[in-house]
Amino acid sequence: MAERARARTATEAPSGDLGRRLAARRARLGLTRQQTAARAGMAAGYLAYLEEQPGAAPGTGVLSRLAEVLQTTVTELTGGAVDLPPGPGRAVREPRITELGPGECQALLGTHGVGRLAVPTATGPVIVPVNYSVVDGAVVFRTARDATPSLAAGGQVAFEVDRIDDAFSRGWSVLVRGAAHAVTDPREQSRLSERAHSTPWVGGARDLWVRIEPGSITGRRITA
């Protein structure tokens, strides 16, 4: 059921900031437009309008119902939290931290996206965000040869990914530590280009592939 729902969401074309946020959130929950609209008490055609029309401006009542169905907040849906760091919400009354096993860590790491890379520099460690993918169990990313992430090659690094749900004050994080090296074999570079899911958002000439082989992988989750 969830797989069919995700397949259907992939055929729909959101437009505008609100539309993209609505579509991305329901896709994360595995909901179709029809399911989301029904739970929010609106016509599926109206939800399609909200997602596809850049100028759509629904009232606060509509946004509140959608936020409740999508387990988020009106602020998140409307982009009001874009420039805010994650985690400003209050902690739940009885939070619980659980350690994640290797299998769950690998599964969460494999969702791809943006991670934080810690690299050594002449003036001390620096942490930078990179678009990454997981190929054959290794973290891979593309960068420029003179960019900070390129300093990872040839050393021991740390790489972290996380997801924070401010609406429910919960989330998870996964930490990878291991050796990083530059991928110089043209055939391997081509293979990574074909299999990688994420490309650098910053654009430009990013022709240096770096692979991080996990020496250790740990994680934890915060729940109510």
CATH number for the domain harbouring residue 188:
2.30.110.10
Question: What's the number of domains the chain is made of?
Answer: 2
pLDDT band (50, 70, 90) for residue 168: low
Q: Are residues 38 and 116 in the same domain?
A: no
User: What amino acid occupies position 91?
Assistant: A
- Kindly report, residue by residue over 59-86, the tens digit of the pLDDT: 888 999 998 999 888 887 887 655 556 5
Average pLDDT of the residues in 38-55: 91
Q: What is the mean pLDDT of the chain?
A: 84
Bridge partners of residue 170, in order along the sequence: 165
Token code pair at residue 57:
């401006």
**Does residue 191 share a domain with residue 116?**
yes
Cα–Cα dist 44/9, whole Å: 13
Degrees, nearest 5: CA angle 60-73-105: 160
Distance CA(51)–CA(21), nearest Å, equals 8
pTM for the complete prediction? 0.65
Beta strand 113-119 with 126-135 is antiparallel
- Measure CA of the first residue to CA of the last residue in the chain; give whole Å: 27
Are residues 58 and 133 located together in one domain of the fold?
Answer: no
**Do 17 and 126 belong to one domain?**
no
